[in-house]
Amino acid sequence: MDPPNDTTRFILAGVSHPGNVGAAARAMKVMGFSDLVLVAPRAARAAQHEQALGMASGATDILHAARVVGTLAEAVDGIGLLCATAMTPRDFGPPTRAPRELFARLAGEGQRVAFVFGSERLGLANDDVYRCHYCVSIPTASAYGSLNLAQAVQVIAYEWRQALGGFDVQARTPERRLAGADEVQAALGHWQRVLEAIEFLDPAAPKKLMPRLNQLLNRAQLGSEDINILRGIARSVERGRE
């Protein structure tokens, strides 16, 4: 079962491009979050815009439930702790921390947390940053640190979900069964007969070929299906010599 998500809010302030709103909703949903608030978006009906709905790709329920408010003060009702997201620390602003370092501590406090993102071009206004308890800065390469808004939402959502305990990884492939020693030896015996038949192996002077092949198969840790393939090749060689 997915973890509850009612303790986390994502706030987009002054977003310009409706596509980013939809992509942010998708980023939230894959990490199990759903509380999205838009503060004075520049595009009218940003959460219902065609580009937003297209980029949401299955997360349109988050867009339909998103609230639109005029100020950050309205967006943070019921929130206990605010985290601004900004590349550049502000003078006299809140302490700046990397997500992983900060979230490991915040996750155990049990407060309702909101992550506040600024506009694509200008980021967050200083007054909005000053309102927050922390400034979260995603570590990037020193030569280029420009993240798309929705990408930043995805990184923060992922790091916060991991701090909250993450998700169980769903196995997508069946467990692989390793071949037993008896299967390996049977395959080696089969291959020895074929190698002798094609005169690759001289039974009078076998040297160390078969022990070497034995060790090769052991190192490869073959599965039963792999052994079946090798024996199928051997049978094909035998048929070709008939």
**Do the Cβ atoms of 236 and 192 come closer than 8 Å?**
no
pLDDT in tens, 71-83: 999 999 999 999 9
Cα–Cα distance measured from residue 120 to residue 115, given in angstroms and rounded to the nearest whole number: 15
pLDDT in tens, 82-96: 999 976 666 667 999
- The partner residues of 35 in beta bridges, in order of sequence, read 9
Question: Amino acid identity, residue 223?
Answer: G
pLDDT in tens, 172-217: 777 778 899 999 999 999 999 999 999 999 988 888 999 999 999 9
The per-residue b/e assignment along 130-158, b for 16 or more CB within 10 angstroms, e otherwise, is: ebbebbbbbeeeeeeeeeebbebbbbbbe
**Do the Cβ atoms of 235 and 197 come closer than 8 Å?**
no
Nearest CA to 132 among 80, 87, 69, 88?
A: 80
- Least confident interval from 21-30, 40-49, 56-65: 40-49
Predicted pLDDT of residue 90: 63
**Do the Cβ atoms of 94 and 128 come closer than 8 Å?**
no
pTM: 0.74
Q: What are phi and psi of 199, to 5 degrees?
A: 65, 30
- Number of residues in the chain: 242
List the structure tokens of 194: 């074929």
Helices 149-163, 18-30: inter-axial angle, 10-degree rounding? 20
Return the SS3 of 214: helix
For the chain, the straight-line distance linking the first and the last C-alpha, in angstroms and rounded, comes to 59
Predicted pLDDT of residue 176: 78
Predicted pLDDT of residue 4: 47
Q: Which domains does the chain have, with CATH numbers?
A: 8-163 (3.40.1280.10), 181-240 (1.10.8.590)
pLDDT in tens, 145-179: 888 999 999 999 999 999 999 988 776 777 778 89
- The partner residues of 37 in beta bridges, in order of sequence, read 11, 67
Predicted pLDDT of residue 240: 82
Cα–Cα distance measured from residue 96 to residue 117, given in angstroms and rounded to the nearest whole number: 15
User: DSSP code of 178?
Assistant: B
Predicted pLDDT of residue 2: 46
* Residue 1 confidence (pLDDT) above 70: no
